[in-house]
Structure formats: structure tokens, C-alpha cells
Amino acid sequence: MKLLVTFSKKAGRKPIIAQVVKDTGVLINVERALIDSSEGEALIDIPDDMCQIVREKMANLGATVRLLDREISIDESECVDCGACVSICPQEVFYLDGDWKLSIHQGRCVLCGRCITACPHGALSQLGEP
Ligand code: SF4
Ligand code: SF4
């Protein structure tokens, strides 16, 4: 299960992920981490049955935790393979295949929403949205 963990500058000085691994014994796979002067953000992958305890521990240490349990969905009847979503996605979720058709790398999306607003044909949505 993927979690997006955001640390404020103040909380970012603490070794939050290391502390949670130590306290829970859960092995946390850090898939991506970005830290700048104001905040830090980490995309982590953990076993499904440990999700609740890891979320609680991180929240107690001052982090904001978002569960990434949805994916981006493409309405193929609307998509014209223009590639606008390819260039805007920070996670390189989209690519054009050998036939210049839009394809997706599953499991990379962090649900930032940029592609949904960038698509000129309204072909993208979050799976599970009405
Ligand atoms: S931006 Fe929209 S229309 Fe263009 S390739 Fe992506 S999903 Fe298809
Ligand atoms: S929501 Fe964000 S991360 Fe996910 S596919 Fe769209 S642009 Fe990429």
C-alpha cells in the first residue's frame, strides 16, 4: 500500500521514517523523497496490514499522511493521444507506445491531479470518482 508522507520544515528535522521503522518493526520501502527548504515529501510502500499503525505513528510524529488507494483512469473514447499528460506528470506515469498510443505505468501515480486539469479532452479522472 502506498502512502504519501508530507513533513513540515520543523517536523522534517526529525528522522520520522527511521523512527517509525524502529518503533513498529515495519519495513518501509521509500520509493521517492523530495526535501526542500520548507517541507519534505516521501512516497512510501508498506504491507497493507501495517498501514494503520504506520499512519498513526507518522501522524503522532507530526507528518501528514495520505493514502494513495486510487489510480488515474483514462476514458479511451475521449483520449486523442496528444501527449499533454505525458509532459505534465511528475511521476512519469504516462508514455506513448510504439504506435503513439497513450499507455500507463501502473503504481506510480501520487494523485496530484495535474493531468486531470491538463487534459484538453477531459479524458482523465480518479478511479472511484463519481
Ligand atoms: S492529455 Fe488527455 S487526450 Fe491528451 S494523451 Fe493525455 S489523456 Fe489523452
Ligand atoms: S495525478 Fe499526478 S502523478 Fe498521477 S498520473 Fe496525474 S499527473 Fe501523474
Q: Is 119 in the pocket of ligand 2 (CB under 6 A)?
A: no
Helix H segments across the chain?
9-12, 16-24, 51-60, 84-88, 114-118
**CA–CA distance, 125 with 130 (Å, rounded to integer):** 9
Mean pLDDT of 34-52: 86
pLDDT level of residue 119 (50, 70, 90 thresholds): very high
Q: Is 113 in the pocket of ligand 2 (CB under 6 A)?
A: yes
Residue nearest to atom 5 of ligand 2 (CA): 109
Neighbours of 22 (CB within 10 A): 11
> Does domain 72-126 sit in CATH 3.30.70.20?
yes
pLDDT level of residue 13 (50, 70, 90 thresholds): low
Q: Tell whether the model's pLDDT for residue 9 goes beyond 70.
A: no
Is beta strand 102-104 parallel, antiparallel or unpaired with respect to 124-126?
unpaired
Mean pLDDT of 43-64: 93
Rounded to two decimals, what is the model's pTM? 0.67
Intervals of CATH 3.30.70.260 along the chain: 2-68
Strand order in the sheet with 2-8: 29-35, 39-45, 2-8, 64-68
Which-ligand-closest: CA of 93? Answer: 2
Which-ligand-closest: CA of 32? Answer: 2
In terms of C-beta density within 10 A (0-12 exposed, 13-18 middle, 19 or more buried), how is residue 72 classed?
Answer: buried
| CATH architecture, domain 2-68 | 2-Layer Sandwich (3.30)
53: amino acid identity, one letter: I
Cα 82 to ligand 1 centre (Å): 5
pLDDT value at position 1? 87
pLDDT level of residue 127 (50, 70, 90 thresholds): low
Intervals of CATH 3.30.70.20 along the chain: 72-126
Q: If we measure between CA atoms, which residue out of 94, 99, 97 comes closest to residue 119?
A: 94
Specify which residues 65 forms β-bridges with. 5
Q: Tell whether the model's pLDDT for residue 130 goes beyond 50.
A: no
Residue 42: in which H helix or E strand, if any?
A: strand 39-45
